[in-house]
């Protein structure tokens, strides 16, 4: 008998326990695998996953404890594995009847555990500390929220208990006014539901104050400053070796907010005298970090996790293979979208079409593989010659922000460089990895604004930060600081440096902006950029385009290989100094990105020539600039 939809979302533990009970007669039933399989199958059904409420959009206090929820998140830290009672026996104090219970997917056992039962099974699980995807842009959040709420409508069939009602109300709320979901609700409602609505309002106002109060003494350890959102302790039951730090996941799991978990810390102090002294051995900080109040950091017992190849809500979130139908249908459109995007960027980049071309290439770049230490496919762009007037760089960033799923603006001011924590560092007292701004998810756009740099001295932290940025750009890795040693974490971050002169950081490619706008007109021009509203359908087209181009496969035919080789030899023949191995490296990357940007999955003669051509243009521009500006290296 299959449990109905609402059972598996509302009461997943019931499903698990049912399977556990059924397996008792049959020791080799493998019920655990079956349970996981069951949820996987349920979620596979069309749109089933959108019925599951998401921790990202629904405030925690609206969610029903022990229900199935999903969470789109980023693994920020991995805690130690823990042992728990997988199966245990309870004794009823009055009847002395013993019952076997399942401890999986739960934090707290039932009353009356028999510790000496021979039926106890100890199992192991791993805890990940997960935060929302760092730097995820508002349009992504909104878009995910809107797709999810549209289908939560069937939830009206919930039994009308108070708690559920408020949640359900919230859903209705979002249904009608997605953009206002955080605001107190004022829409017309039927009078019968008015009570629930008021309740909801009250909770809404309470929640934020709660959050700030507790957050003040509990650092949620978000990689980027100023981030908001729930963080979560995800308990992983199987296959945790396959997850890596900084992975993007969509976790489906059972929400646990048992107050007993958070009560732990408070009761410790009062009852420590009669408690086992070893249990108090953890420092207060460690306690706080590893068992934070469940109301603030809920626990999520993972049933199923889907690794996210990207966090673009407009694209189906499956692997490339499953996606091929979608991809091939849009491939034909890519060239036209590219032209539109190019025009748009040219406009933004003060009429410089070449820079716009390079910007597109940069935005679709991706480290697709590594050859020993060498990351291939990275394309760090240094856009020099940016006007400092009229906060051009900030506006520029805002536009990028509208187009990519996650991004971060790092103003390279002296203060930021000297004070910010870029590299994650292990805090051994609290036993956690204190995050830094460079702990970013795959394909995050990091926007380095060097125009903010002023004269002054970098201190030790500053030097370290600049070195870290340099390493990130050159090797696409960040050396996390573990105090006694460093540990290298490979990353895949698109770094865009805007600067006046040549950047002090290394880059794969530098292009000097040639403004078609004269200085006096600049102010006016810039304000008009903002006045140039893109229709949302067009923005969406761009968003899809950028993500898709990145996902395409690419190859070079033997023929093209030969022809590229010939070309290289010829170029060297004319002037060996002009083209080095490094230049060839870059041109190959440019050719790759250029082909992909046009929706071509293999290198064509045309693309190669075009790549050569734009690289030549770029270089001649640099030569030119060098002559004008003698002190440039």
Within residues 423-442, the interface with other proteins by CB under 8 A covers 426, 428-429, 431, 433
Q: Counting contacts by CB under 8 A, is residue 260 touching other proteins?
A: yes
Q: Counting contacts by CB under 8 A, is residue 582 touching other proteins?
A: yes
Window 5 to 24, contacts with other proteins (CB under 8 A)? none
Window 447 to 476, contacts with other proteins (CB under 8 A)? 463, 467, 474-475
Residue pair 546/406 in contact (Cβ under 8 Å)? The answer is: no
Window 61 to 80, contacts with other proteins (CB under 8 A)? 77-78, 80
Q: Counting contacts by CB under 8 A, is residue 278 touching other proteins?
A: yes
Binds other proteins (CB under 8 A): choice among 62, 88, 344, 345: 88
How far, in Å, CA of 275 to CA of 268, rounded?
Answer: 8
Window 351 to 410, contacts with other proteins (CB under 8 A)? 369, 371-374, 376
Options 55-63, 116-124, 205-213, 335-343: segment touching other proteins (CB under 8 A): 116-124
Shortest reach from residue 91's CB to other proteins, in Å:
11
How far, in Å, CA of 617 to CA of 186, rounded?
Answer: 58
Binds other proteins (CB under 8 A): choice among 22, 108, 186, 616: 108
Q: Counting contacts by CB under 8 A, is residue 120 touching other proteins?
A: yes
Binding mask 561-580 for other proteins (x = CB under 8 A): x--xx--xx--xx--x---x
Helix (H) or strand (E) holding 68: strand 68-78
Q: Tell me the three state secondary structure of residue 556.
A: coil
Instruction: For residue 166, give the nearest of 126, 207, 225, 131 by alpha carbon.
Output: 207
Torsional class of 391: left (φ above 0), alpha (ψ -120 to 50), beta (otherwise): left
Residue 83, CA distances (Å) to 122, 184, 233, 236, 286 in order: 6, 44, 16, 12, 18
Instruction: For residue 78, give the nearest of 497, 437, 439, 342 by alpha carbon.
Output: 439
Window 240 to 259, contacts with other proteins (CB under 8 A)? 241, 244-246
Shortest reach from residue 591's CB to other proteins, in Å:
9
Angle between helices 581-597 and 353-363 (to 10 degrees): 90
Shortest reach from residue 190's CB to other proteins, in Å:
41
Window 545 to 564, contacts with other proteins (CB under 8 A)? 554-556, 561, 564
Window 195 to 214, contacts with other proteins (CB under 8 A)? none
Shortest reach from residue 320's CB to other proteins, in Å:
14
Report the residue number, 26 or 518, with the smaller CB distance to other proteins. Answer: 26
Which of the 8 DSSP states describes residue 440? -
Write 535-541 long-range contacts (CB < 8 A, 24+): 538/340, 539/139, 539/402, 539/403, 540/314, 541/337, 541/340
Shortest reach from residue 261's CB to other proteins, in Å:
7
Q: Counting contacts by CB under 8 A, is residue 264 touching other proteins?
A: yes
Binds other proteins (CB under 8 A): choice among 106, 310, 541, 618: 106
Shortest reach from residue 22's CB to other proteins, in Å:
21
Q: Token match 């104050």: residue?
A: 209
Report the residue number, 80 or 182, with the smaller CB distance to other proteins. Answer: 80
Shortest reach from residue 109's CB to other proteins, in Å:
5
How far, in Å, CA of 485 to CA of 477, rounded?
Answer: 16
Residue pair 459/429 in contact (Cβ under 8 Å)? The answer is: no
């Amino acid at each position: 008998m299959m449990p109905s939809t609402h059972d598996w979302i509302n009461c997943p533990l019931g499903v698990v326990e049912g399977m556990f009970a059924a397996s008792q007669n049959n020791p080799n039933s493998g019920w655990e695998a079956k349970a996981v399989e069951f949820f996987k199958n349920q979620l596979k059904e069309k749109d089933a996953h959108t019925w599951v409420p998401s921790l990202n959009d629904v405030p925690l206090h609206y969610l029903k404890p022990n229900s199935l929820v999903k969470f789109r998140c980023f693994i920020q830290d991995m805690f130690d594995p823990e042992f728990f009672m997988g199966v245990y026996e309870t004794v009823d104090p009055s009847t002395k009847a013993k019952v076997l219970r399942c401890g999986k997917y739960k934090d707290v056992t039932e009353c009356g555990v028999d510790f000496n039962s021979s039926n106890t099974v100890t199992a192991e699980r791993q805890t990940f500390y997960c935060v929302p995807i760092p730097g995820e842009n508002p349009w992504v959040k909104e878009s995910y929220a809107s797709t999810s709420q549209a289908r939560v409508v069937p939830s009206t069939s919930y039994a009308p208990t108070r708690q559920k009602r408020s949640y359900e109300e919230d859903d209705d709320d979002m249904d009608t006014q997605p953009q206002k979901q955080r605001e107190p609700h004022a829409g017309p409602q039927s009078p019968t539901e008015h009570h629930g609505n008021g309740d909801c309002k009250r909770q809404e106002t309470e929640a934020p104050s709660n959050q700030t109060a507790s957050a003040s003494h509990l650092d949620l350890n978000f990689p980027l400053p100023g981030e908001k959102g729930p963080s979560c302790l995800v308990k992983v039951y199987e296959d945790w070796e396959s997850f890596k730090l900084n992975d993007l996941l969509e976790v489906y799991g059972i929400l646990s907010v048992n107050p007993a978990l958070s009560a732990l810390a408070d009761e410790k102090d009062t009852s420590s005298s009669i408690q086992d002294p070893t249990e108090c051995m953890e420092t207060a900080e460690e306690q706080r970090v590893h068992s934070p109040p469940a109301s603030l950091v809920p626990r999520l017992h993972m049933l199923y996790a889907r690794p996210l190849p990207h966090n673009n809500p407009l694209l189906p979130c499956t692997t490339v293979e499953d996606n091929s139908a979608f991809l091939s249908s849009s491939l034909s459109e890519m060239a036209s979208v590219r032209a539109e995007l190019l025009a748009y960027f040219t406009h933004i980049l003060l009429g410089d079409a070449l820079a716009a071309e390079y910007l597109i290439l940069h935005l679709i770049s991706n480290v697709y593989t590594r050859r020993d230490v060498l990351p291939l496919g990275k394309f760090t762009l240094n856009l020099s010659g940016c006007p400092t007037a009229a906060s051009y760089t900030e506006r520029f960033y805002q536009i990028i922000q509208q187009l990519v799923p996650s991004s971060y603006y790092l103003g390279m001011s002296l203060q930021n460089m000297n004070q910010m924590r870029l590299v994650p560092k292990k805090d051994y007292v609290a036993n956690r990895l204190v995050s830094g701004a460079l702990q970013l998810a795959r394909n995050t756009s990091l926007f380095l604004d060097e125009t903010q740099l002023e004269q002054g001295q970098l201190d030790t932290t500053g030097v370290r930060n600049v070195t870290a940025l340099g390493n990130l750009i050159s090797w696409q890795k960040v050396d996390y600081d573990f105090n006694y040693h460093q540990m290298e974490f490979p990353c895949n971050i698109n770094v865009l440096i805007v600067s006046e002169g040549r950047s002090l950081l290394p880059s794969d490619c530098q292009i000097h902006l040639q403004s078609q706008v004269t200085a006096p007109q600049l102010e006016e021009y810039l304000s008009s950029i903002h006045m140039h509203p893109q229709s949302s359908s067009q923005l969406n087209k761009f968003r899809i385009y950028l993500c898709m181009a990145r996902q395409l496969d690419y190859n070079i035919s033997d023929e093209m290989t030969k022809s590229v080789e010939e070309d290289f030899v010829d170029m060297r023949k004319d002037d060996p100094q002009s083209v080095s191995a490094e230049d060839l490296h870059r041109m190959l990357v440019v050719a790759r990105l250029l082909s992909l940007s046009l929706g071509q999955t293999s290198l064509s003669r045309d693309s190669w020539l075009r790549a050569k051509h734009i690289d030549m243009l770029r270089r001649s521009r640099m030569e030119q600039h060098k002559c004008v500006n003698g002190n440039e290296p």
